[in-house]
Chains A and B, each alone.
Chain A
């Protein structure tokens, strides 16, 4: 390690900086995960799916509900019938619960295509965008109705809590006798990062080496071409929304395990928007790089600018970066320059 300058050690200030960056990268991974779901749908259908964050929330709620054996709509049923049901049993084992949740997300994709998208095929992008805002509200309300709105703990057996090993390692980097106790890194964040990497690799392999994957890429490039491959546009949409549902599930699990399953989860969708602006709406590497930049930038701003202006800079930092960025490169990091024609 270069950092381990022998003899005098690394200054704690610098180590703190590194820690902030690392934590930023970790939360950036979460943003990237949500942004990834956006990009998948945008590439295949040109729809900017605002409901991606709520889909993550919905998936996490469903997972917890299944795990703990909640009766769906118990609240509603009780209110109507005057009964007092809440659980049907001890719940499903985690793996099974995840599988069933995935099925629910697929069913959801199917329904969304059937009930919403089919009727909005030739509408302008901004109309579709607003439709997905409506969808987000609908899903949020439905998730709450089905499973209740209380904050729930989600545990899928991933390790969590600070890593002592890393703390010990990093403490040794500081000079002897310095007031420094090592870096804090949540093991859950590390697992999330690993899972995210696996997910991206899997998606890449899927789109490169399977027939469906190739068809999806064809749609992204040219709708006509995809039709000639023999897959209907509509089933492609269902597939893409299912995949986005899967990505949402993963994001929901990670985020839920970290800070509990609650409404604020759906707000990461809003954070994913600036990420997309940096990364461009069609680029998977862009989504990842953008997520990391926003994650790190936010944490750095909070740590170094926050104290001066009273904190909570995180609330708006990402949007301001996106805004400033848009003014100079309206097409994003990886997008092509648009020459308008008439």
Chain B
């Protein structure tokens, strides 16, 4: 069976299902990957690492996770901060309890622990829908943060109540702790994000992804068609929480190095990630990255312009930023509910026909 989509031939279903069906887009993607993996590490410095690139990767991971749950499966969660905290504390406990365990596995296991907690808090989704569920996830948010604050076992009875990441290495190179070189932490995060983004893409285009979207679009019909709501929803919570847990583990161990739960994992984190997903595009892998990039880079840019360029006080810039983010959320919901990802798609369509529109 052959069919044609402006220029490229598809000769089998396998190629028809590939991620970048258009050749130029495929080149663009691999070009970007080559730069990200092979060029950036040579130029990265402390500022770019801690203020731009690692935050970007960590938030992308979290946004991917929330997008699976909210964008693909339609279950709104305001508990992202709490689940990131689970990832971070699992990471801390594993790092300190098993000093010889490779940090890569520590991070993966932290994701696993979070997936389990996420499944527990996902159970109510079988009975509760829409913003009722959103409120129920607030229970997870506040309870979890409180738990990590109040139970000393989680922070190994440290006097400050903070947790601090010890140094851990991969192939002999430190990726956590104060002396980790920027390129190493960056590459560590990049590899994980690349790997899991690829898996997210696969999951969302296969059977499981279709069962999530079916639940999202029309849950009753989905069940009648043969989708098991229990399986679909709980797997969405599990996979989503896994990603968010990995993000939390990286956030703590690689990016910040030391955290205090109420500061680092408050309700604002939940909102921030939700905004990334909305602005980027609900139900889009690319959107998760675009949204994370937008909300990570915008404040940096604003700060540089307003504080660095115009000489405004920092708090003023911060207020301006909050207002702008809020305005943008409303703007996107009105003008382009499918977010930046959809804008990109439209631009692409224009470019593809260029210079002969019709």
Contact B146 A129 (CB under 8 A): no
Contact B138 A138 (CB under 8 A): no
Beyond A76-B316, A316-B146, A340-B220, is A48–B329 a contact (Cβ under 8 Å)?
Answer: no
Chain A 261-297 per-residue mask, 1 if CB under 8 angstroms from chain B, else 0: 0000001001001101100000000000000000000
Contact A137 B326 (CB under 8 A): yes
- Closest CB of chain B to A226's CB: distance in Å? 24
Contact B143 A136 (CB under 8 A): no
> CB < 8 Å: which of A141, A267, A310, A312 contacts B323?
A141
Segment at the interface with A among B4-12, B84-92, B101-109, B125-133 = B125-133
Contact B322 A120 (CB under 8 A): no
Report the number of A-B residue pairs with Cβ-Cβ less than 8 Å: 140
Contact B323 A145 (CB under 8 A): yes
Chain A: interface size category: 35 or more
Q: What residues of chain A lie closer than 8 Å to B132, measured between beta carbons?
A: 277, 326, 330
Contact B333 A130 (CB under 8 A): yes
Q: What residues of chain A lie closer than 8 Å to B136, measured between beta carbons?
A: 319, 322-323, 326
- Closest CB of chain A to B86's CB: distance in Å? 15
Chain B: interface size category: 35 or more
The answer for the CA separation of A135 and B326 in the assembled complex, in Å, is 6
B27 within 8 A of A: no
> CB < 8 Å: which of A79, A115, A134 contacts B329?
A134
Beyond A127-B333, A130-B278, A134-B327, is A140–B220 a contact (Cβ under 8 Å)?
Answer: no
19 other contacts beyond A123-B333, A326-B132, A330-B128, with CB at 8 A cut-off? A79-B316, A129-B131, A131-B333, A133-B274, A134-B329, A135-B326, A135-B330, A137-B326, A149-B315, A267-B267, A270-B267, A315-B146, A319-B135, A320-B139, A322-B136, A323-B124, A326-B128, A330-B132, A340-B220
**Which residues of A does B touch, CB under 8 Å?**
48, 75-76, 79-80, 115-116, 119-120, 123, 125-127, 129-131, 133-142, 144-145, 149, 267, 270, 273-274, 276-277, 309-313, 315-316, 319-320, 322-323, 326-327, 330, 340, 342
**Which residues of B does A touch, CB under 8 Å?**
76, 124, 127-128, 130-132, 134-136, 138-139, 141-143, 145-146, 149-151, 220-221, 224, 267, 271, 274-275, 278, 310-313, 315-316, 319-330, 333-334, 337
